Amino acid sequence: MLVSALPSLLLLLLLSFTVRTWTSRPARVYLSYKELMESRTARFFSFGFNTSDYRILFLDQDQDRMYVGSRDYLVSMDLGNINREPLIIHWPAAPSRQKECLMAGRGRADECANYLRVIQPLNRTHLYACGTGAYQPQCTLIYRGWRSEDYVFRIISGSHESGKGRCPYDPKQENMATIIDGVLYAGVQVDYMGTDSAVFRTMGHKLPIRTEQYDSRWLNDPVFVGSLVVSESSFKEDDKLYILFRERSLEGESGPAMVSRIARICLNDEGGMRSLVGKWTSFLKARLVCSVIGPDGVETSFDQLRDIFIQQTQDKQNPLIYGVFTTLGSVFRGSAVCVFSLADVRAVFNGPFAHKEGHGYQMTAYTGKTPYPRPGAVRYVTTV
């Protein structure tokens, strides 16, 4: 019932965009190392040891530090001067696990190491970090002290736990993770083979919840890009998490092969009943369209969301989402930045649903009566 009501709304709101690739210049501003140093805006930091794949850069404004995650290492840097004695944690996968990983034939591209994929503050004094653990994801607590001056950064011994559903197995997979009030929300491939993708809620005081398993209407080979949490009213129960990703389209021949999405869940979702126990009842998704009509009237679509930046505005409930998109086709390669206002995104989520009628491929507007409670609505849990 609920799944069939899962919409795939078309978000046709493009507030502004800049398309940079109509000229022959490369899409990205390019600075040589020499030019960068001459600009006197950059500082050089080099790591004295063997690592790679700096994936996570997490800015901690409370303590004026930046946490960096790479292969087998976590580093805490002083934002004022990144060369001032960085604090370093070496966290490799266990040698026995590395051996197993290599024996399973996974080691071709250096995959049998611990690639850091999650670093999130858990509270004032602790961080939560996860890595791929040589194809066996693992998480741990890290103590960072109360203040920057405490100068501590260490793994809490005995805090290691499985990172399944929190961190991918495969270092090549993109994931999303955010901790809100001690609860981890992750967009991740849950299994070793990387075929079971989910938006997963684990940890803390809430029940574990996920998206339906192996159902392409919920998620279809998604690549997670980022998320933002928004207080939608003065009631905490209304808080929502928006998740941005791209996925394979279900439109078949008639549409692009991939589409970009924004999905939404309520943080207070307790899951459904019967077959929907442990599944989101509030999950909705809409399409993010980023396209431009050229002077010749031809529309160019940028269907692949690559990265996002959230700009807070004076209106806390309505931040701006900047998305970097690229084209799909091989004929025209280009990139674009599209900006979406959360107010418009919200209007789409409050608007009509799309559904698939019969066996056709086309998604069409749902014209029937909207069920009550409205799919995706926050449900207020009352304890009797």
Q: How near is the Cβ of 207 to ligand NAG at its closest, in Å?
A: 19
Among residues 2 and 88, whose Cβ is nearest to ligand NAG?
Answer: 88
Q: Which is nearer to ligand NAG, 113 or 363 (CB)?
A: 113
Under the rule (CB under 6 A), what is the footprint of ligand NAG? 50, 110, 113, 122-126, 141
Cβ proximity to ligand NAG: between 89 and 113 the closer is 113
Comparison of 126 and 160: residue with beta carbon closer to ligand NAG: 126
Select 188 or 203, whichever has its Cβ closest to ligand NAG.
203
Question: From the CB of 138, what's the least distance to ligand NAG, in Å?
Answer: 17
Q: Are strands 8-11 and 284-288 parallel, antiparallel or unpaired?
A: parallel
Count CA within 13 A, CB hemisphere, residue 62: 11
Structural tokens at position 327:
């084209």
Spatial separation of the C-alpha atoms in residues 168 and 191, rounded to whole Å? 8
Question: Which CB sits closer to ligand NAG, 111 or 303?
Answer: 111
CB of 230 to ligand NAG, least distance (A): 25
Length of the chain: 384
The answer to whether residues 64 and 78 touch, using CB atoms and an 8 Å cutoff, is yes
Can you tell me whether residue 325 is helix, strand or coil? strand
Provide the minimum distance between the beta carbon of 89 and ligand NAG in the complex, in angstroms, as a whole number.
17
Least distance in angstroms from the C-beta of 51 to ligand NAG: 8
Chain-centre distance for alpha carbon 280 = 17
Q: Which of 145, 147, 195 is nearest to 170 (CA)?
A: 195
* Smallest distance from ligand NAG to CB 94, Å: 14
| DSSP element (H, E) containing 3 | none
Q: Which of 277, 334, 311, 268 is nearest to 15 (CA)?
A: 311
Q: d(Cα 197, Cα 222) in Å, to the nearest integer?
A: 7
Shortest spacing between CB 110 and ligand NAG, in angstroms: 5
Q: Terminus-to-terminus CA distance in the chain, angstroms?
A: 27
Least Å distance between CB 167 and ligand NAG?
A: 18
Please compute, for residue 33, the number of CA atoms within 13 A of its CA located in the half-sphere on the CB side.
Answer: 2
- The least distance separating ligand NAG from the CB of residue 22, rounded to whole angstroms, comes to 42
Q: Closest CB to ligand NAG among 145 and 271?
A: 145
Tokens of 71: 């292969």
The SS3 assignment for 348 reads: helix
Which tokens is 359 given?
Answer: 């066996």
Nearer to ligand NAG, 141 or 266 (CB): 141
Q: How far is CA 64 from CA 184, 305, 384, in A?
A: 23, 30, 45
The residue (of 137 and 226) whose beta carbon lies closer to ligand NAG is 137
Q: Compute the distance between CA of residue 94 and CA of residue 286 in angstroms, rounded to an integer.
A: 42
Q: With 0-12 CB in 10 A as exposed, 13-18 as middle and 19+ as buried, what is 172?
A: exposed
347: which strand partners?
A: none
